[in-house]
Structure 1
Amino acid sequence: MRVLLSTYGSRGDAEPVVALAVRLRELGAQVRVCAPPDEVFVRMLERAGVELVPIGRPMGVMTAPSTESAASRRVAELAAQYDTVVAAAEGCDVLLATGLAHFSSRSAAEKLGIPYVYATFCPFLLRSPHQAPPALLPGQSFPPEVTDNRVLWDLNARTFNTLHGGALNAHRASVGLPPVDDVHRFIFTDRPWLATDPVLGPWRQTPELDVVHTGAWILPDERPPADDLLAFLDAGAPPVFVGYGSMRGVSADIARVSIEVIRRHGRRVLVGRGWAELAAIDDQDDCFVVGEVNQQALFGRVAAVVHHGGAGTTTTAARAGAPQVVVPQAADQPYWAGRVAALGIGAAHDGPEPTAESLAAALGTALATDTGARARTVAAGIRTDGAAVAAKLLLDTAGR
């Protein structure tokens, strides 16, 4: 059985795909992965021994579109990845896409006549009467007088068509495929897969969608901490980790505010550099800066995790039993902030730019004794078999 996995997004989109690839190979499948050529993804796939087909520009140089014209140009660029995906999918029995790979990958699967699956890593993207749709552009809002979620999702679908339909259908026409009337349905399909932990990212089934909830796809990481990081961890009480992962546009002042607040709480500081290039604000020995690191090992040794609220970071911290402060920046991050608060395993900061006062209050909640106890209780219920479940389902799909 030959499988193509196609992803285009940040680490939160790529790492779960590598986890799925590893499980598929354990079941005897031949797997290759289309992914952006960012160094972190290249190294991740090399460690897993999975073939990489580089696609598109590195995600590290991409910015989110903020206007309708920019969104249309982005769709045209993403759809143009079609040729690479078609070539990679030749001879494959099934194609699964995640992130922004849908524009090219579904058309490629359709052209080749092979089964296609789209998987997402957050429930808030899926149509449901139990939740309102997300905004598609910064500053976008829905009419305040409209409160019915079904009506809001209809408006959301029209916006998808307005933003993406022209560029998508222009590309499909160029490769001999028929036009798409409903871009939202084209992207998410009628049977999307949801790769979230049932505790952290639950789903209530609805008549609108036949969602396959597999559980989160977690890639085991056995890398030991670097010697200097290990020495810092061993030199004192557990520090508070602060990092914003793949977010580049965070406030330039966020490192200073975070470090000062963590010190005010009497804690040492561990700064994750990330795409925002966060750095220490002085040379005091209570602060240590790390680059790309094994968070699975690290988060079990920290007092709390202050982060942006990506699905992967939220899940890793929850698995480790580490209390969290989520300072959401964009996309699905407000959803994960809300889940952390609702579960009582941390605090959701209101807005993307914390002040010293607002962050101090949120961190106080996270460092409270009862929050730590709740975080450890929830950690015991986080599942780790999602990638294995998805691998079996995907091979069954190919077999049918």
Structure 2
Amino acid sequence: MRVLLSTYGTRGDVEPLVALAVRLRALGVEVRMCAPPDEEFTERLAGLGIQLVPVGPPVKALMRGTSLPSAADLSRYRTEMVHTQFDIFPAAADGCDALVAAGLAQIAARSVAEAAGIRYVYVSYSAVNLPSPHHAPPPRPGWPEPEVNDNLTLWELDARTVNAQFGGPLNGHRAALGLPPVDNVRDHVFTDQPWLAADPVLGPWRETPGLDVLQTGAWTLPDERPLPAALVTFLDAGTPPVYVGFGSMRPSPDIARKAIEAIRARGHRALVSRGWADLELVDDRDDCFAIGEVSHQRLFGRVAAVVHHGGAGTTVTAARAGVPQVVVPLQLADNPYWAGQVADLHIGAALDSPAPTVESLGVAFKTALAPETRARAKALSTEIRTDGATVAAGLLLDALR
């Protein structure tokens, strides 16, 4: 039995599918994965013995600047990606029994699966990405933000925007495959029974007519890598520091300086993760330390709070560790959603702006570092599931059998 997994994006998009791939292989399933050709993904999959089918340009190169590409460039990238997927997916899916696609960018996946006569599953990592009257669509880079407050109207406008971007290219390729056209690209990609790979306590799905969502829990793997010796020395040298990191995202240029200033004002040490943005320390004082890639699962239990951008993976890892969070959401994708969840669950604080001030960070730290917030975060950590990828692998295998 063979399964093709596919996504395009940063580490937060790739890593959940890696978790599913590992669980599927443990059940005897052969796995291939379509993903960006970034070096870290290539090395990650090679180390696990998972075949990578590279698709599209490296994501890190697209995010090298201090801001996102222009709307025109993003539109061009999206159209080119559809053509690239139709060029690559058919061969990648050859001999496969199912295709699991993660993210709206996977425009070609369902059509390729349909033409090949194999099972297709769409998965989202956050409830906010799926249409519902209970929330508005997430911000989509390069697309206009309508000035409407009704959620259903916003989702209708969202569908029209997706159609305008992808309808022509998608239906052109479907015609070449002998498939009928689709009139709602977004819902065609999502299907009426999408999977939701998010924790039901941290990011629950609210029942919505027309969508039979199957929520499995977040897809994660144990990360048992030991922490670097220099980091352990820093951790052991004083009270738990506040972690500041934005992963693959590029926050406002001076966020490290502002965060360190606000952290010091609260009497805490700071731990800065460089990430793709290459964040740096502001001075050589011994109350701050900079790190590269480390195991968050091992680290977060040793920090006082986690400052991050609101990625699904970081949010669930911090929640599992029982550590308070301060979310500085970039205004795109699911970042604002996870910021809101952290605030609503009273396990931390969320800021409204991606470029906060020292003062607004100070207010957020006061909330996050309060004893009652830590107690709530600790209590909620016992409710977070860790078996999402195992559940999903079992469900897929049962369906194929």
TM-score range (shorter-chain normalised) is: over 0.9
Shift, 1:139, TM fit: 7.3
SS in 1 for 2:131: coil
Worse overlay, 9-18 or 77-86: 77-86
The two structures have a TM-score, normalised by structure 1, of 0.94
Alignment-derived partner of residue 323 in structure 2? 322
Task: Indicate the SS of the match to 1:81.
Answer: helix
Distance 2:346 2:83 in 1: 41
Farther-moved stretch of structure 1 (178-187 vs 56-65): 56-65
Q: Choose 294-303 or 51-60, whichever is displaced more.
A: 51-60
1:269/1:288 contact within 8 Å kept: yes
Match of 2:86 in 1: 82
Does the Cα contact within 8 Å between 1:76 and 1:171 map onto a contact in 2?
A: no
Count of matched residue positions in the alignment of Structure 1 and Structure 2: 396
Give the unaligned 5+ runs of structure 2: none
* CA 1:175–1:289: 2 relative to 1, 3 Å: farther
* Partner Cα separation in structure 1 for residue 143 and residue 355 of structure 2: 16
| 1:201-233 deviation digits (Å, cap 9, x = unpaired) | 101122121111111111111110111111111
Q: SS of the residue aligned with 1:102?
A: coil
Aligned mate of 1:114, from 96, 118, 135: 118
Q: Would the alpha carbon gap of residues 171 and 72 (structure 1) be closer, same or farther in structure 2, given more than 3 Å must change?
A: farther
Q: Check the 8 A contact 1:299/1:317 in 2, yes or no.
A: yes
Deviations 1:178-213 (A, max 9, x none): 332101112211111000000111011221211111
Alignment of 1:108-257 (within 5 A): 108-138=112-142, 140-144=144-148, 147-248=149-250, 250-257=251-258
Q: TM-score with structure 2 length normalisation?
A: 0.94
| Structure 1: unaligned runs, 5 residues or longer | none
Deviations, residues 226-259 of structure 1 (Å, cap 9, x unaligned):
11111111111111000111112x2111111111
- Could you tell me which residue of structure 2 aligns to residue 267 of structure 1? 268
Matches within 5 A, 1:4-19: 4-19=4-19
2:337 is matched with which residue? 335
SS at match of 2:100: strand
Shift, 1:347, TM fit: 0.1
**2:111 partner amino acid:** S
CA contact (8 A) 2:223 2:297 kept: yes
Q: Structure 1 stretch 100-109 or stretch 386-395: which is displaced more?
A: 100-109
1:56 alignment partner in structure 2? 56
Cross-structure match for 2:3: 3
**C-alpha spacing 1:262/1:215, structure 2 compared with 1 (3 Å):** same
Contact 1:280 1:288 in 2 (8 A): yes
Q: Is the 8 A contact 1:123 1:203 kept in 2?
A: yes
Which one is further off, 114-123 or 284-293? 284-293
1:284 Cα deviation (Å)? 1.3
Q: Does structure 1 retain, via aligned residues, the 8 Å contact 2:244–2:306?
A: yes
Displacement, 1:311? 0.3
Q: Helix, strand or coil: the match of 1:357?
A: helix
Secondary structure (helix, strand or coil) at the match of 2:107 reads helix
Give the Cα–Cα distance (whole angstroms) in 1 for the partners of residues 172 and 289 of structure 2.
Answer: 50
The one-letter amino acid of 2:277's match is A
Equivalent residue letter for 1:328: P
Say if 1:324 and 1:347, in contact at 8 Å, map to a contact too: yes
Amino acid at match of 2:232: L
- Change beyond 3 A, Cα 1:321–1:163: same
Equivalent-residue separation in structure 2 for 1:79 and 1:351 (angstroms): 36
1:398 maps to 2:400: yes
Instruction: Describe the shift of the 1:79–1:364 C-alpha distance in structure 2 as closer, same or farther (beyond 3 A).
Output: farther
What residue identity is the alignment partner of 2:204?
A: P
The one-letter code sitting in structure 1 at the alignment partner of 2:365 is L
Structure-2 separation of matches of 1:74 and 1:148: 27
1:360 corresponds to: 362
Inter-partner Cα distance in structure 1 for 2:82 and 2:234: 43
The equivalences for 1:381-396 within 5 A come to: 381-396=383-398
- C-alpha displacement at 1:100, in angstroms? 4.9
Measure the CA separation in 2 of the matches of 1:138 and 1:73.
11
CA offsets, 1:250-287, max 9 Å, x none?
21111111111111111111111111110111111211
Give the match's secondary structure for 1:96: strand
Q: CA deviation at 1:66?
A: 4.4
The aligned residue for residue 307 of structure 2 is 306
| Distance apart, 1:362 and its partner CA | 0.4
**Percent identity for Structure 1 against Structure 2:** 61
Q: After the TM superposition, which parts of structure 1 deviate over 4 Å for at least 4 consecutive aligned residues? A: 63-66
How far apart, in 1, do the equivalents of 2:129 and 2:117 lie?
27
* Offset of residue 104 of structure 1: 2.8
Partner AA of 1:258 in structure 2: A
